[in-house]
Amino acid sequence: MAAAAALTVVALALILLLPKFQQSLPSAGIDRSRTAVAVGASRIVAQGRRIAAPATSINAVGLEDGSVVTLDSASAVQVAFAHDARHVTLLRGRARFEVAHDGRPFTVFAGGGSVTARGTIFDVALSPQGRVAVILIRGSVDVVPSAAPTSPRRDPVLVRRLAPGETTDYVSGTLLGASAATPAADPQWSDHAVDFDNVSLRYLLERGNQGAGPPITVSDPALQQLRVSGRFDLTDRKRLARNLATLFDLHVDMRRNAIEIRR
């Protein structure tokens, strides 16, 4: 009886301590202490979550809406989604945003201004001095160098819409100009070895198939929905295909003009 009582006390202690232990577990650069909660049919992040990349690697993270944010080394963002808006704050460094269509505006805040897009790809970089650079790769974005005015009618001088390939900078609420992307705005900065977190296989293959050479394909379209986490080198397609096949216990068929992943 004494032994049974002692075991009961230990079990109760473990149950009480388990939540604290779970909160202490590391989560690969993502602060999940402020978790998302389901409310009816919508998913709302009450206070957001912080995502950071270490100084030694580039991280690509799949967000709740299907968008992907790629963080340059030593960069960080804060993500806060609601039923009618998607907000991301660039805290430091550089990030690429590949925005999924879902009807809600997607806005990135940085350096006191904002960049708003609806289904597009763009980079935002924040310098230590507070200067913000925006580079549009695909789609359309509106750049506002300072906090949105209270009036619903914005002064067009304070809003700049970019076309693909254009870049603009702002600092302290002032736009500094728009031009074609310069060599410093390297669109390939995120195409090397990247740490991926919760992205779809389809997304990873799209990233890996950019540029010349035989593409990686899949025999079964359902495989494209697999979720992928891990470090992959996007510059070597054959190696990428072999690594993905190993990860999911699949097979690779390498032919002269194609690389196919199959069950």
DSSP readout, 215-263? PEEESSGGGGG-EEEEEEETT-HHHHHHHHHHHHT-EEEE-SS-EEEE-
Mark whether 136 and 209 lie in a shared domain. Answer: no
Strand partners, 52: 76
> What SS3 state is found at 100?
coil
Mark whether 167 and 210 lie in a shared domain. Answer: no
Residue in 196, 204, 243, 245 with CA at minimum distance from that of residue 224: 204
Q: For residue 33, what are the contacts with CB-CB under 8 A and spacing of at least 6?
A: 23, 49
Instruction: Say how far apart CA 185 and CA 162 lie, in whole Å.
Output: 15
CA 151 and chain centroid, separation: 31
Provide the pLDDT for residue 185: 58
Provide the pLDDT for residue 157: 53
Instruction: Say how far apart CA 232 and CA 240 lie, in whole Å.
Output: 7
CATH number of the domain at 243, please.
Answer: 3.55.50.30
In a domain, 257, yes or no: yes
Mark whether 173 and 230 lie in a shared domain. Answer: no
Q: Where a domain ends, among 156, 180, 204?
A: 180
In a domain, 188, yes or no: no
Q: Where a domain ends, among 120, 149, 180?
A: 180
Mark whether 68 and 127 lie in a shared domain. Answer: yes
Q: Range of 38's domain? A: 30-180
> First and final CA of the chain: distance in angstroms?
55
pLDDT tens-place values along the chain, 263 residues long: 444 444 443 343 433 343 333 333 333 444 433 323 222 222 333 347 899 999 999 999 999 999 999 999 999 999 999 999 999 999 999 999 999 998 899 999 999 999 999 779 999 999 999 999 999 999 999 999 986 544 444 454 588 999 998 999 999 899 987 666 554 456 678 777 789 999 999 999 999 998 788 899 999 999 999 999 999 988 889 999 999 999 999 999 998 788 999 99
Mark whether 166 and 198 lie in a shared domain. Answer: no
Mark whether 146 and 200 lie in a shared domain. Answer: no
Mark whether 48 and 98 lie in a shared domain. Answer: yes
CATH number of the domain at 60, please.
Answer: 2.60.120.1440
For residues 95-116, one letter each, b for 16 or more C-beta atoms within 10 angstroms of the residue's C-beta and e for the rest, the string is: bbbbbbeeebebbbbbbebbbb
Amino acid 78 reads: Q
Q: For the chain, give the mean pLDDT.
A: 79
Provide the pLDDT for residue 181: 53
Provide the pLDDT for residue 112: 94
Q: Among positive and negative, which fits the CA dihedral 132, 103, 137, 218?
A: positive
